[in-house]
Amino acid sequence: MRTIIPIALLVVVALLVFIQMRPDRFHVERSAVINAPGSAIIPHINDFHRWPAWSPFEKIDPQLRRSYDGPPSGVGAGYHWAGNSQIGEGSMEIMEATPNKVGIALEFEKPFKASNVATFTLVPAGTSTKVTWAMDGQSNFMAKAMGLFMNMDTMVGGQFEKGLASLKGVAEGGSGAL
């Protein structure tokens, strides 16, 4: 018993040190080529009222409650959502809007508090456009610990892939359905 307790404490301390040494930031991104000019794509990103047509997060909870504030689109446009335990609650505000980039401040309230930045970058590719959806944020101790069991890139990246495929459908004139 005298040797088990010190060994157990050593294992716990080693685990805590290992968790603390994990990266302080995360980055997730996915890209897709959309057969449309950036000018036909950016309005779907720059206007939160259009997100229900393509965002995969909008489809997770059919009872999702939404509210909007600020201008209808562009810098200062705001969006608040509240949904079930899978979608949680939070808000977004467009902080940057150019013909080739939209930057969004993303605030999560539930199920956990977090502040992230989402960025959509559009790069011409011949007659098409490469759209990259990225998210960056801080990893606090709890996020680092959860990262041992859940990979942020896998969790969010899959949703980004679905969203880009749906945005492609909408921008190319299809339904955009997932």
Task: Domain count for the chain, please give it.
Answer: 1
Q: Residues 105-136: pLDDT tens digits?
A: 999 898 878 888 999 999 999 889 999 999 98
Q: Is 123 within a domain?
A: yes
Q: CB atoms < 10 A from the CB of 24, how many?
A: 12
pTM for this structure?
0.80
Say what the alpha-carbon torsion angle 61, 80, 71, 164 is, to the nearest 10 degrees.
-40
Whether residue 124 lies inside any domain: the answer is: yes
Write the CATH number for 46. Answer: 3.30.530.20
Name which of 149, 156, 131 is nearest 27 in CA terms: 156
Average pLDDT over residues 157-163: 89
Whether residue 99 contacts residue 39, with contact meaning beta carbons closer than 8 Å, is answered with yes
Inside any domain, residue 11: no
Query: Does residue 77 have a pLDDT over 90?
Result: yes
Residue 99 · residue 40 · CB < 8 Å? no
Domain region containing 52: 25-171
